[in-house]
């Protein structure tokens, strides 16, 4: 396993894969200078991201925790939102590669900050999802169809990405189960 030719190695979405990638670079003879590094894209705990960064630094690499948001359609279009944690120089060096994957790349702070931002994103999104489910049940109890409710509130103060993309999670789950 050698990454000497690779400006940035993106790791598949699992904590084990991210940890294994960092571990394999240790002792491999690779002594990289920025922009050589590892960019784990999965959602990991901030402490895991910091630990991976510390291990990678021992191997002369930089790790960016760079979780994404946007779903499969935006991923295919290169239009993801990427929340990056890591060293300023490593983020600057990796930005051109990250911008191929995402239209919005935001440096959130040191290692772990990207992971913390992704967790905050998920908390906000799932809170909204729960609220929309509750609102649909309330309206349905009074004879209002879900589609009509979501259309009516979409341009008001209750409008949200979740409401405007109702059914998104069902489609993602079906695609995940299928593929």
Give catalytic residues, as residue numbers.
Answer: 118
Residue 105 pairs with which residues in a beta bridge? 82
Residue with tokens 């400006």: 7
Residue 56 neighbours by CB distance under 10 Å: 25
Cβ atoms of 44 and 11 closer than 8 Å: no
C-alpha dihedral, 8 to 105 to 99 to 49, nearest 10°: 20
């Amino acid at each position: 396993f050698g990454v000497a030719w690779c400006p940035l190695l993106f790791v598949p979405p699992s904590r084990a894969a991210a940890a294994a990638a960092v571990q394999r670079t240790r002792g491999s003879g690779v002594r990289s200078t920025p922009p050589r590094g590892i960019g784990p894209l999965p959602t990991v705990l901030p402490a895991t991201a910091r630990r991976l960064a510390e291990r990678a630094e021992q191997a002369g690499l930089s790790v960016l925790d760079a979780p994404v948001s946007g779903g499969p359609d935006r991923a295919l279009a290169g239009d993801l939102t990427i929340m990056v944690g890591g060293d300023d120089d490593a983020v600057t060096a990796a930005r051109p590669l990250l911008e191929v994957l995402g239209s919005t790349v935001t440096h959130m702070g040191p290692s772990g900050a990207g992971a913390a931002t992704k967790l905050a994103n998920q908390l906000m999104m799932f809170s909204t999802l729960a609220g929309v489910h509750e609102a649909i049940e309330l309206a349905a109890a009074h004879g209002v169809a879900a589609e009509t409710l979501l259309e009516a509130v979409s341009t008001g103060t209750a409008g949200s990405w979740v409401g405007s993309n109702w059914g998104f999670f069902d489609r993602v789950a079906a695609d995940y189960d299928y593929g």
